[in-house]
Amino acid sequence: MTTPSLDTAWHHLEAGDPHAVLRELRGLADDVPAAQVAPLVQRLAADSGFDDLADAAGRLAAGAGGLVALYKYGYACVERGVSYLAAPALAEALGLAAAEAREGEKTKRGLFGRSKPRPDNRLPILSELATALEDEERHAEAAAVLREHEPLLRDWPGRYLLAYNALMSGDRTTARATLDRLSAPDDQWRPAADRVRRALDRADAVEAGAGAGAGSAEVATLTPTPLSHQDLRGWHFALTGGLLATLSPYGFAAGMTGRYAFLQDSYGLCRHGLERLRLVLDATGTRPRSVSLLPGRADRALGLAAAELFGLPAESYRPGTGHTLVVAYDLNDVDGIGHEKLAALRERATGEVLYEHATCWTDTPPVTADVSGLLGQTVAPPWRMLGDEPDERPAEALAAEIVAADPTQDEGDGDTPPDPDEALTAFARVAREHWLNGPRDRCRSSGPVPSSRFR
């Protein structure tokens, strides 16, 4: 028996629209048993050539049932990037494994304890479930299920994952307490442990700085409660080590909390981002000696504009150059630079600052910028205006447009809190002791501050 939502998904499949099928499945996965969804997933996976998922879904659809079939199906879903389908199946499998474990305990306590105890299958299922929830940024749920089964966990990676997911959900108390109890990590897990510890230290600095000293009133204009679930700038810094230069003036009441979903960018916004970058550099006492130009047209245009506005010489980017400002428009779309050069930006040279104008928050870049102009899900650059022919002029002409543009940000929708220069300046002063420290690690999650997004 199918539900109306499943009927709709089947209709999309027969019409040859797999993306619509996946959107429908995302909306119903937690409400419909995995065994009922499995026949549709089997067809979709087979049509896509995903034999592993098609086989696992087929076994579940055929009535194989049980924790093994659910686990294999959930595992295949995670591997194929549909963790929202994996999570309910793995949660069901974990419930079955927990019931088996309880029955095994009864058997061991039975008459003379002679029956062979059943194996405890919870740990691999628990690990995969935590991974699925983490992939979906359901960090509070991941932390809750890990905490519920904490006696099963080993320090690495089990309890570390509890600390990580607690942090990503905004629960710094659990994250710090769990991390402090862990044994010393080996070389494999040391970088991960250091990332969480640095994030917690940055969060503490934000909280302490917002509540003390002359800057506290200015910082308070940023958000009513520092590191609340609406403090986008505070959490962006805590989790990534980067400073967010501007907050979107639209959609706060609708759940955007400072991020953009879709943005048609403008030359004025590019100029505004660079002026906010200037505030950050001044507030932190950072003095680049040059601007390093990445080879892509968009990056070069923005870099040339920064060089003119800041009165700095411009030169081609060379990994390892110190005291320079590296400028990118979008680090997910850098033309003409090899993977090795881009990866080199993870390790910063002395005094090097990486600026990215448009940072994607739903598909985070491979390295995290030290300053992000704005956070958007989809950003169309000014030279690609929707409905118009793309502007193919060289980078120098685009840079001149940016320099000449009005940097004044529009007033927005009137329902979004203001983001004055003073708030960014005060925040940068608070953050400077913990800024430009450590590698520019990728942060794959948007963290505790939710925003509406297009699927």
Please give the chain's pLDDT, 455 residues, in tens: 456 679 999 999 999 999 999 999 999 999 999 999 999 999 999 999 999 999 999 999 999 879 999 999 999 999 999 999 999 999 999 999 999 988 877 766 554 555 555 668 899 999 999 999 999 999 999 999 999 999 999 999 999 999 999 999 999 999 999 999 999 999 999 999 999 999 999 999 999 987 654 344 544 444 548 999 999 999 999 999 999 999 999 999 899 999 999 999 999 999 999 999 999 999 999 999 999 999 999 999 999 999 999 999 999 999 999 999 999 999 999 887 777 788 889 999 999 999 999 999 999 999 999 999 999 999 999 998 877 788 999 999 999 999 999 999 888 999 999 999 999 999 999 999 999 998 999 999 999 999 998 87
> How many CA atoms lie within 13 Å of 432's alpha carbon, on the beta-carbon side?
15
Q: Are 242 and 280 in contact (CB under 8 A)?
A: no
Token pair of 387, please?
């409905």
> How many CA atoms lie within 13 Å of 33's alpha carbon, on the beta-carbon side?
11
pLDDT value at position 409? 87
How far is 372 from 354, CA to CA, in rounded Å?
Answer: 9
Handedness of CA 383, 389, 390, 395 (dihedral sign): negative
Q: Which residue has the tokens 């659910």?
A: 70
The ranges of the chain annotated as CATH 3.40.50 are 215-434
pLDDT value at position 455? 72
Give Cβ neighbours of residue 74 (< 8 Å, ≥ 6 apart): 34, 85, 86, 87, 89, 90, 93, 125, 128, 129, 132
Q: Kindly tell me the burial class for residue 212, based on how many C-beta atoms sit within 10 Å of its own C-beta (0-12, 13-18, 19 or more).
A: exposed
**Residue of 219, 218, 222, 239 whose CA lies nearest to 230:** 222
With helix as H, strand as E and coil as C, how does 238-260 read?
HHHCCEECCCCCCCCCCCCCCCE
Q: Are 5 and 28 in contact (CB under 8 A)?
A: yes
Provide the CA 287 distance to its chain's centre, in angstroms. 30
Q: 215-434, which class in CATH?
A: alpha beta
Provide the CA 102 distance to its chain's centre, in angstroms. 37
pTM: 0.92
pLDDT value at position 282? 98
What is the gyration radius of the CA atoms in the chain, in angstroms?
Answer: 25
